[in-house]
Amino acid sequence: MIKIGIIGGAGYTAGELIRLLINHPEAEIVFINSSSHAGNRVTDVHEGLYGETDLRFTDRLPLDEIDCLFFCTAHGDTRKFIESHNLPEGLRVIDLSMDYRLKAEGNDFVYGLPELNRRATCTALHVANPGCFATCIQLGLLPLAKHLMLNDDIMVNAITGSTGAGVKPGATSHFSWRNNNLSVYKAFEHQHVPEIRQSLKQLQNSFDSSIDFIPYRGDFPRGIFATIVVKNKCSIEELTRIYEEYYAEDSFTFLVDKNIDLKQVVNTNKCLLHLEKHGDKLLIISCIDNLLKGASGQAVHNMNLMFNLEETVGLRLKPSAF
């Protein structure tokens, strides 16, 4: 059994991670650290887990008792923790924040997008889990980058559910504002664009085009639905072949010949892709669950790879399709 520790256990991603791990046949949660909830039952916060666990939050950090440590912390807090604690040698770390996603001197974290860095993840000690928007958009573009086809500006529109804003209430996540509403935020300046660019350049070093990304706040709880438009002269048949070939060995990313919708992926670790050709423009539709494929599901996928398990273990989930 893989002995697990979780730091930052009260948020949406932590709740989903706990749900996945208590039902994972090869994992055992040793501790869930939360100073603000220490001593309380996990089900006091994550009420959807009633009847599934009697775990309690703790303020202890028995790092020497675990094999893998997950960080479900606010951006900046993982780096502070690692710099102020001596982690046991050989302890594997999976960080769900954005602290180590971008390559920098002294950063030994592997960028944990399995469809891009599977082999490196299998031998990694430290993994940086990708961002939710970044995951959805990159999976729509990686096959093109591999074939050096990204030579013009990329237009992206993507809408995310309210859980993407985190568990702490705010003006733009309040039900009476969000319901039956739609809004743009961080147009052209979203924090996930640099990691998208980094991954595309990993496959296509010459890539220097603009990524014109317009994010939207949706009036639904979870999921990301993205439309991507790029110029491409290849036929739809050739593009279909390229995408199917790229994802042939991947367990969670699928090219679908029919138009897709968000409910097909909500509550799963899947990404669905659909391609359409309109003149010299290629429309790529990509959708994921932001809390699973975009966060906790992908983190468990990375754990499976790091511990040499079959990658779908604990992640065979039914979508909320109706």
Distance of alpha carbon 54 from alpha carbon 40, whole angstroms: 10
CA-based angle 134:260:204, to the nearest 5?
Answer: 35
Give me the active site residues, please. 132
Distance of alpha carbon 70 from alpha carbon 297, whole angstroms: 12
> Is the dihedral angle over the CA atoms 26, 272, 187, 175 positive or is it negative?
negative
SS (H, E, C) the chain: CEEEEEECCCCHHHHHHHHHHHCCCCEEEEEEECCCCCCCEHHHHCHHHCCCCCCEEECCCCHHHCCEEEECCCCCHHHHHHHHCCCCCCCEEEECCCCCCCCCCCCCCEECCHHHHHHHHHCCCEEECCCHHHHHHHHHHHHHHHCCCCCCCEEEEEEECHHHHCCCCCCCCCHHHHCCCCEECCCCCCCCHHHHHHHHHHHCCCCCCCEEEEEEECCCCCCEEEEEEEECCCCHHHHHHHHHHHCCCCCCEEECCCCCCHHHCCCCCCEEEEEEEECCEEEEEEEECCCHHHHHHHHHHHHHHHCCCCCCCCCCCCCCCC
Distance of alpha carbon 135 from alpha carbon 294, whole angstroms: 6
Phi, psi of 63, rounded to the nearest 5 degrees: -65, -25
